[in-house]
Amino acid sequence: MKTKILLYNNFWEMEWNLPSILVRDGFELINQRAHFNEADVVVFHMPNMDKAELEALKSQKRETQLWVFFSMECNLHYEWHSEKAIRDLFEITMTYSNKSDIPVPYLYPGYAKQVLNAPVSKHHNVNAFISSGFDKSDRLRILSELMGFIEIDSYGKQLNNKSLEGDQGPSTKAQIISQYKFTIAFENAIAEDYVTEKFFEPLIAGSVPVYLGAPNIDDFAPGDHCYVNVSSFSSVKELALHIVNCCNDDTQYQQYLNWKNKPLKQSFMQRLELVKNRLFLRLCDYLNERLKE
């Protein structure tokens, strides 16, 4: 008998493409809720879940059924996710937190090579791409204040002052970022381990992130002195002055790129090791160990 894993709901608006998801032998993925009672494991994408619906399902849960709390979003945006009564419904956590049973960082194995790409010549100084209105980090106020001190080309929907012609999505964004010395990389919330693509996209494109977010961001950095940490400055004005100085002094700016000539940090490589296998293969491996117990 195969262990049945039910994907209870979609990942945002995207339906799961079951044939494309790799699982270990002995496991089967399903996504029909009609099979809820026979599922051995149920994965809930929590940002899409309704609290009342989840609580109603509690009465249908079999004693041996395992529930998986899956989310890559910061809990600060979904306060009810942290309620004890909700957390107690789940046996397994699969989130961005390194303390999860199955950590799901915003990292991919290819990053080890991609972050070492040689930076292209920079024709511009600072850019920003912020479109979401989610803001538990005060990033919009900080960006607005920063724009009062230095010129920033803002392509996102928030504080927009620059049009984006021929937008082809991620490839266009990467191409634009690569032309800038610095890229605003402000998370929409500040929490330990909550480090998203906002930090890695500039590094891969050869730009230096100006980072606002996780207090342990250095654990995710591929090299020493590869980013500007907003929290290291006593004021936005001081931050702006530092950026201006770096833009006007090639020697000072180069210090943010020297890490590319050295081995990648061990802490970064250890986190890449977490994602060497695809997500559901990792879930299967965890379940194999759990079911042995």
Torsion 211-215-219-220 (CA) sign: negative
> Does residue 30 have a pLDDT over 80?
yes
What is the pLDDT at residue 167? 84
* Fold exhibited by the domain 3-104+275-292: Rossmann fold (3.40.50)
Q: From CA 79, how far away is CA 102, in angstroms rounded?
A: 21
Q: Kindly tell me the burial class for residue 271, based on how many C-beta atoms sit within 10 Å of its own C-beta (0-12, 13-18, 19 or more).
A: buried
What is the pLDDT at residue 120? 84
**What's the pTM?**
0.95
pLDDT confidence tier of residue 252, bands split at 50, 70 and 90: very high
> Does residue 272 have a pLDDT over 90?
yes
> Does residue 51 have a pLDDT over 90?
yes
What is the pLDDT at residue 117? 87
Q: Do 3-104+275-292 and 111-271 share a fold?
A: yes
Phi, psi angles (nearest 5°) of residue 215? -65, -20
* Percentage of the chain modeled with pLDDT above 70: 100
CATH architecture of 111-271: 3-Layer(aba) Sandwich (3.40)
CA angle 121, 127, 131 (to 5 degrees): 140
What is the pLDDT at residue 166? 83
> Does residue 146 have a pLDDT over 90?
yes
Identify which of 190, 198, 184, 188 has the alpha carbon closest to the alpha carbon of residue 147: 184
Residue 254 neighbours by CB under 8 Å, 6+ apart: none
DSSP character string of the chain: -PEEEEE-S-BTTBPP-GGGS---TTEEEE--GGGGGG-SEEEEEGGG--HHHHHHHGGG--TT-EEEEEE-S-GGG-GGGG-HHHHTT-SEEEESSTTSSS---S--TTHHHHTTSPPPPP-EEEEE-------SS-HHHHHHHHHTTS--EE-SSTT--S--TT--THHHHHHHHTTEEEEEEE-SS--TT---HHHHHHHHHT-EEEEES-TTGGGT-SSTT-SEEGGGSSSHHHHHHHHHHHHH-HHHHHTTTGGGGSPPPHHHHHHHHHTSS-HHHHHHHHHHHHHH-
pLDDT averaged over the chain? 96
Q: Please report, for the chain, the start and end positions of each structural domain, with discontinuous segments joined by +.
A: 3-104+275-292, 111-271
Average pLDDT for 233-255:
97
